[in-house]
């Protein structure tokens, strides 16, 4: 029985995805889903091994090989996300659906120099 290939695994997007995967592995160190560091020494099928996540899944209309739609992720985080989108915590702002669920940074506007 032949396997059903995704658009990023064959065809015109394959070379671009391979190039962008190398760029991400060279420049990113933190999982874009959980916000924790990724250990590059771990290999598949270790659940904490590195993988590339499509921020907007291909099944939901995301581009298969565009660098702005790709991010580093743990294998387990990527599998748990599947073809969904993460929702950020409830705020007074209108709800924005995004894949980036990173911890909040320090509020530098309240920081005073001595």
Tell me what percent of the residues of the chain surpass a pLDDT of 90: 46
Q: Which two tokens stand for residue 52?
A: 């590339």
Q: How many residues does the chain have?
A: 114
Q: What is the mean pLDDT of residues 79-84?
A: 86
pTM > 0.75: yes or no = no
Q: What is the pLDDT of residues 14-69, one digit of tens each?
A: 888 899 999 999 999 999 999 999 999 999 999 999 999 999 998 888 888 899 99
Distance CA 47, CA 76 (A): 5
Q: Which two tokens stand for residue 40?
A: 């590059």
Give residue for tokens 């993988």: 51
């Amino acid at each position: 029985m032949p396997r059903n290939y995704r658009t990023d695994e064959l065809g015109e997007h394959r070379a671009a995805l391979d190039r962008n995967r190398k760029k991400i592995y060279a420049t990113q160190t933190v999982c874009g889903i959980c916000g924790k560091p990724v250990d590059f020494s771990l290999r598949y099928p270790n659940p904490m091994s590195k993988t590339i996540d499509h921020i907007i899944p291909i099944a939901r209309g995301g581009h298969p090989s565009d660098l702005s739609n790709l991010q580093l992720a743990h294998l387990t985080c990527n599998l748990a996300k599947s073809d969904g989108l993460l929702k950020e915590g409830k705020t007074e702002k209108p709800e924005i659906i995004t894949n980036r669920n990173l911890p909040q940074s320090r509020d530098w506007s309240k920081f005073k120099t001595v």
